[in-house]
Amino acid sequence: MASVAAGYLPILLFLAVALSMSLSFVVLPMTVAKLTGASNPYPDKLAEYECGFPAFEDSRAQFDVRFYLVSILFIVFDLEAAFLFPWAVSLKNIGLVGWGAMMLFLIELVLGFVYAWKKGALEWE
């Protein structure tokens, strides 16, 4: 029973160190800022400083749904590239079955790409 609990000790130590470091990097600077007055907002501190003029529109303006479609497609094809590299490296070891599985995966991705293309998800006005 003691050996099972001892197996979890490194995990508990890792969690304790991670929690203490994250608290020190988040809570400590916020506390220091409150105590030293660095978080005191005033009009000059809240003024536009990056572009030099006020924003044209509300910052909560809605994005076009095509923006999200293009970003999702980018993520899908980026993940596809992430799957291709380990597959190519281990192709000798996985043999014909691994090759067939990847070809099926690529066919599904190509069909999804053709579907998105036909639906106009890649066209921007």
Q: What is the pLDDT of residues 13-67, one digit of tens each?
A: 999 999 999 999 998 888 888 888 766 777 776 676 666 666 666 666 676 777 7
Q: Tens digits of per-residue pLDDT, 59-89? A: 666 767 777 777 888 888 888 888 888 888 9
Q: Give the torsion sign (CA, 106, 112, 114, 120).
A: negative
| CATH number, domain 62-125 | 1.20.58.1610
123 within 8 A of 91, measured Cβ to Cβ? no
Q: Can you give the residue ranges of every domain in the chain?
A: 1-59, 62-125
Considering the entire predicted model, what is its pTM? 0.45
Give dist(CA 38, CA 30) in Å, integer: 9
The DSSP output letter for 52 is S
